[in-house]
Amino acid sequence: MPKYVKWEVAKKSQSQYNIGNKKFSFGKQGISTVDIIVIVIASIAIISSGFFLYKNVTTLNKVMDEIDSMKITVQSKQDTISRLAELGNNEQELQDMYDRNELYIPSEKTSEGIMKDIDDILTDEGIMFVSLQYSDEIPLSDGVIDVPFMLRVQGTYDQINNALSTFTKTDRLYVIDSVNSIKSNDDSEEINSEIFMHSYYKPN
């Protein structure tokens, strides 16, 4: 029995000896130098992969932002194209608006045009024309010429009131300063009115 014990001790001592003589080795299945090198290389590879992955994700995000910006630009240009196309489809409407603006403040006085507007409105309302008297033209600061005039007419209150309302709806701009009215006689509903007005034109 004592020999058996000594043999176990000797075997244990031999195992310790073997461990002591194996560099970086723990027992028969320990970690070798090659294993450590492999682990280090693998760690470096993992860290490098993580770095490149982060860089690629950052680059991807930047590219996505640029794509979003390009989408906004493209959409803006598409909207512009759509508006231009719409304007092209409404070319006649735009031309009509331009022509109307040209009539609103024409490039010439065109007294005939003023007289035609007056005649049309008075005829439609059944008002009698008496006289039209122009005053001196007044140059304004923006190049527009003010054309003051006094219109004398005879008609009922309602007729004259309707005519004044119609003057605000003409293609040409008219501004009414004041209206002086005197009843013709006690037996008639008609009144004599002096209407002080302005028209305008802007020479080219």
Q: What is the pLDDT of residues 47-94, one digit of tens each?
A: 877 777 777 778 878 878 877 777 787 777 777 777 766 666 666 665
- 101-201: what fold? Alpha-Beta Plaits (3.30.70)
Q: Say what percent of the chain tops pLDDT 90.
A: 32
- Please tell me which residue, 76 or 20, carries the higher pLDDT value: 76
φ/ψ of 96, rounded to 5, equals: -65, -40
- The per-residue pLDDT for 180 is 93
Contact 102, 200 (CB under 8 A): no
Confidence bin at 154 (pLDDT 50/70/90): very high
- The per-residue pLDDT for 34 is 76
- Please tell me which residue, 56 or 181, carries the higher pLDDT value: 181
- The per-residue pLDDT for 64 is 81
Indicate the helix (H) or strand (E) that contains 25: none
Confidence bin at 183 (pLDDT 50/70/90): confident
Q: Say what percent of the chain tops pLDDT 70.
A: 74
The residue-averaged pLDDT of 152-157 equals 94
Number of neighbouring beta carbons within 10 Å of residue 122: 21
Number of neighbouring beta carbons within 10 Å of residue 65: 10
Q: What is the pLDDT of residues 184-201, one digit of tens each?
A: 776 778 999 999 999 999
- The per-residue pLDDT for 68 is 79
Buried (b) or exposed (e) across 95-104, using 16+ Cβ within 10 A? eeeeeeeeee
Name every residue whose Cβ is closer than 8 Å to that of residue 180 and which is 6 or more positions away in sequence: 193, 194, 196
- The per-residue pLDDT for 179 is 93
- The per-residue pLDDT for 87 is 64
- Residue ranges covered by each domain of the chain: 101-201
Q: With CA atoms as reference, report the closest residue to 105 among 150, 152, 140.
A: 140
Report if pTM > 0.85: no
DSSP assignments along 135-146, one per residue: ---EE-TTS-EE
